[in-house]
């Protein structure tokens, strides 16, 4: 996951665009994530029309996410929360 400040983005836009071809780039302002830059192909894949069943199923039967996928998702969310410096409650069971 790439994170750049808005100032860095303004100074190195072409470099950031190249990074965004491979992975989403989170752009921060005053320590908070304000934008995400991604490739057009990734955007199209994410915004393709879906049926309601497709939108809610995500291709996995209910509750079948593997521990690795669930752990990766939680790690990514923690990183975004740390970068944004937002007060997000931690819902630990």
Is there a domain that residue 72 lies in?
yes
Is there a domain that residue 22 lies in?
yes
* Residues paired with residue 27 on neighbouring β-strands, in sequence order: 4, 35
For residue 21, give both structure tokens: 């071809």
CATH number at residue 32: 3.40.1620.10
Q: What pTM, to 2 d.p., does this model score? A: 0.51
Residue 28 has pLDDT above 90, yes or no: yes
CA dist., res. 2 & res. 85, Å (int): 16
Mean pLDDT for the chain?
78
CA dist., res. 37 & res. 21, Å (int): 9
pLDDT band of residue 62 (cuts 50, 70, 90) is: low
Q: Are 25 and 3 in contact (CB under 8 A)?
A: yes
What letter would DSSP give residue 12? S
CA dist., res. 34 & res. 20, Å (int): 16
Question: Average of pLDDT values for 32-44?
Answer: 90
Total number of domains in the chain: 1
Is there a domain that residue 90 lies in?
no
């Amino acid at each position: 996951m790439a994170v750049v400040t808005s100032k860095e983005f303004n100074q190195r836009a072409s470099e950031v665009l190249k990074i965004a071809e491979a992975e989403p780039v989170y752009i921060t302002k005053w320590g908070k994530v304000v934008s995400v830059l991604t490739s057009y192909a990734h955007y199209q894949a994410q915004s393709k029309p879906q049926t309601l069943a497709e939108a809610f199923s995500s291709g996995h039967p209910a509750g079948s996410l593997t521990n690795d996928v669930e752990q990766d998702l939680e790690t990514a969310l923690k990183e975004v929360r740390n970068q944004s410096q937002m007060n997000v409650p931690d819902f630990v069971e």
